A and B are shown apart, each in its own frame.
Chain A
Amino acid sequence: MSEMRYTKDHEWLRVEGQTATVGITDYAQTQLGDVVYVELPEPGVILAKGGEAAVVESVKAASEVYSPASGEVTQANQALVERPGAINTDATGEGWFYKIRLTEPAQVAELMDQATYDAYLAELG
């Protein structure tokens, strides 16, 4: 499996060649609680790194999901709209949000790797 990269806002990104899959981390879903609604970007939308990409709503709160990298959305996980609970049960697998074609692949190196993200989580307590 390809390497996972992370943002400080708890999004993950997995690179597969020119495209990458994006979702929110297990830590993020724990903090949100049961997810009840998700709004995903349409294929063809151009996202800038750090720009709002999706919205996720739980029984506690609604939050934005920011794109970890710039690119064009190639696919959204429509199954998630029907079954947002997948974010809680399998955040880094079935709970993926969307795939993008990376326009600036160098941005990936700016994201945290697994060890750095784990240390970041430990810091948050």
Chain B
Amino acid sequence: MEKVNEMAADIVLDLRADKVVESVKQGKRLDGRKFDEYRKITIKHNISENADGSARVTLGETDVIAGVKIVPGDPFPDSPKEGSISVGIEFLPLASPLFETGPPGSEETELARVVDRGIRESKCIDFGELCIEEGKKVWVAYIDMYTMNDDGNLFDASSIAALAALTQARIPKLEIEGDSYKIVKGEYAKKLGLARKPLLCTTTKIAGHLVNDACFAEEKAMEARFSVATTEDGYMSAYQKGGSGSFTAKEIDECIDLAFAKAKEIRKLL
């Protein structure tokens, strides 16, 4: 869509963003939350029977769906014994007046890659276990996410949804005949092993203050954001700084502390 429409959708939000800044300067958020307080999180498992694992997560009014499909694929030449994962997100136009249909934009790509790194680098999935036949076939776990409603902090909502779907995911039963690999529909060999539970926690910087779980208006007002993926056994598996503003090293430390503390709370809901 053209610029004019974007301007229309933006103008009232711009006014709202000014209010956010004004309020945060006075130590308050517009919806009355504490700076580090998350909105209510709900997790619904198994929302799609056709998926090998699925979940729907709401974070306040932000709403994201994730589904996992585990399918036989070709291994990478440099890792013939390892399976892999693939994370994708689509900002569906049904989720916001600002989203439009089309190939993935830079925001979608960034989000998917950060969630991907958080999961992949945490080594929570043993890629070796996803090997079917060395050098020939391996399992690829596709984690596909869709936005249903965007009221900010899609990063954390997506990360929770992806992990919630993975905790449910099962590896299908396979029939091998010579060179043909066929999935037996509706039957499963085993659960997908998940050694740890990496979760992303994003802290935004608004008017010099650190604020967690920014809603849409707060995201409009933020200078920068910093996301950290943490695990329950004290590791961090991904960082991502975004936005045009900056953080001091001290602030980054604070963000990390917040990320561990918040992820711990969220993990209890899984």
Q: Do A and B come from one complex?
A: no
B interface list, Cβ under 8 A from A: none
A interface list, Cβ under 8 A from B: none
